Amino acid sequence: MRSERAAAFAPGRVNLIGEHTDYNQGLALPFAIAEGVTVQARATNGEIVSAHAVDLDEDDEFPLREPPGVEGWRAFVRGAVAECGRAGFEVPAADLRIEGDVPRGSGLSSSAALEVALCLALLGLVGETCNDRIALARLCARVENDWVGAQTGMLDQLASLFGAAEGALLIDFRTLAIVPVPLRLGGWRFAVVDSGERHANASSGYNERRAECERARTLLGIDSLRDASAAQVAGLPQPLRARAEHVLGENARVGEAVAALRAEDLPAVGTLLDASHASLRDLYEVSTPPVERAVTRLRERGAAGARLMGGGFGGSVLGLFAPGVPTPNGAREVRPGPGAHLLPDAID
Ligand code: GLA
């Protein structure tokens, strides 16, 4: 049933481990966080969609059908409207109000939170309950790929849509099977610090890394780098060899991290975070001096492990802290929170 109003919340995410594996049909272990984006939508008459970004105090207005492309946050809004329409939903003209508390460009996936909240709210207006969350994640990824220009995989969208307060999600990007992994931390805490360097997947080296993986895969004649053997990888030219080595090592570390969490062996998780960071820095080459400084600072303050998180080239750094070790000033403790959902009260 169509509604005059709908509102939706979608969270950002932390990725515990499994970086740059999603678009290589690999494994990752994210959890949704409490912070996110809320979109309130009100159906209007006519053919114009208007949007207000509360935190930026900026507006946009565009035609409901065939909105022209644009840059920045407006690309997400136009893309969400257009992709919902292309997927066959009769989204009406609407006023949209967007508000959030995930810091933008900080590697906590403010982008996925925005596109997922937008799509859920728009579909809420047409009375669509979105039971097929995998299809919705694909739709949201198209917003990011085709409208924002970042050739990202589906890590962030799936984490935002499937998040659960109980723990993390083991995602297999070949089958898109998602297995809950409870986080029994026994007083250990995860915390993030901002490296201070903003990052944007569309303009960083992210798309180049993805293209390098695609070249390596094509050279090896396999379906995905997940299938590469160590011997095949050793025969690749640099830097493709290093990129593929990272992907293989990182997939293995995800499996080890899940086993360590199930055994409540948090020191082992810390060691795996460090190994993931070394690989992202040395083999995948997505770290930067500000990110290195943030990682070093976390370790100096007693983190049992620390690593860059998300696409890299800036953003946030994740650290794991043992019971009794205080998190440093400016660090934000992160815990799993619920996944994206419609809100009962769409306000005026
Ligand atoms: C960004 C992308 C994800 C994923 C990570 C790296 O967050 O949006 O799809 O590729 O980088 O793991």
Distance (Å) from CA 141 to ligand 1 centroid: 11
Give yes or no: residues 218 and 114 share one domain: no
pLDDT at 348: 47
Residue type, 162: F
SS3 content of the chain, % helix, strand, coil (to 5): 40, 25, 40
pLDDT at 107: 83
Give yes or no: residues 34 and 173 share one domain: yes
Residues of the chain with pLDDT under 50: 347-348
115 lies in a domain?
yes
H and E: helices and strands count for the chain = 9, 13
Distance (Å) from CA 117 to ligand 1 centroid: 18
Give yes or no: residues 265 and 190 share one domain: yes
Number of domains present in the structure of the chain: 2
Pocket test for ligand 1, best of 109, 152, 226, 317 (most atoms within 8 A of CB): 152
Give yes or no: residues 156 and 227 share one domain: no
Ligand 1, CB within 6 Å, residue ranges: 19-20, 22-23, 109, 152-153, 155-156, 201, 310-311
271 lies in a domain?
yes
SS3 (DSSP) at 284: coil
Of the chain, the end-to-end C-alpha distance in Å amounts to 20
pTM score, whole prediction: 0.96
Give yes or no: residues 203 and 166 share one domain: no
Token reading at 26: 């690999």
Q: Which residue CA neighbors atom 7 of ligand 1 most closely?
A: 310
The residue out of 155, 180, 205 marking a domain boundary is 180
CB of 66 within 8 A of CB of 82? yes
CB of 122 within 8 A of CB of 85? no
Distance (Å) from CA 15 to ligand 1 centroid: 9
pLDDT at 346: 57
Q: What is the per-residue DSSP string for 29-72?
A: -EEEEEEEEEEEEEE-SSSEEEEEETTTTEEEEEESSSPPP-ST
CA distances from 236 to 178, 243, 301, 326 (A): 32, 10, 39, 44
Give yes or no: residues 190 and 133 share one domain: no
Host domain of residue 217: 184-334
Give yes or no: residues 87 and 192 share one domain: no
Rounding to the nearest 10 degrees, give the CA dihedral for residues 165, 159, 140, 249: 180
Q: What is the CATH number of the domain that holds 95?
A: 3.30.230.10
Pocket test for ligand 1, best of 16, 21, 22 (most atoms within 8 A of CB): 22
State how far the Cα of 128 lies from the Cα of 327, in Å rounded to an integer. Answer: 42
Distance (Å) from CA 3 to ligand 1 centroid: 34
Q: What is the CATH number of the domain that holds 274?
A: 3.30.70.890
CA distances from 62 to 46, 74, 96 (A): 12, 10, 12
Give yes or no: residues 138 and 200 share one domain: no
**Could you list the active site residues?**
156
Q: Which residue CA neighbors atom 10 of ligand 1 most closely?
A: 20
CB of 131 within 8 A of CB of 16? no
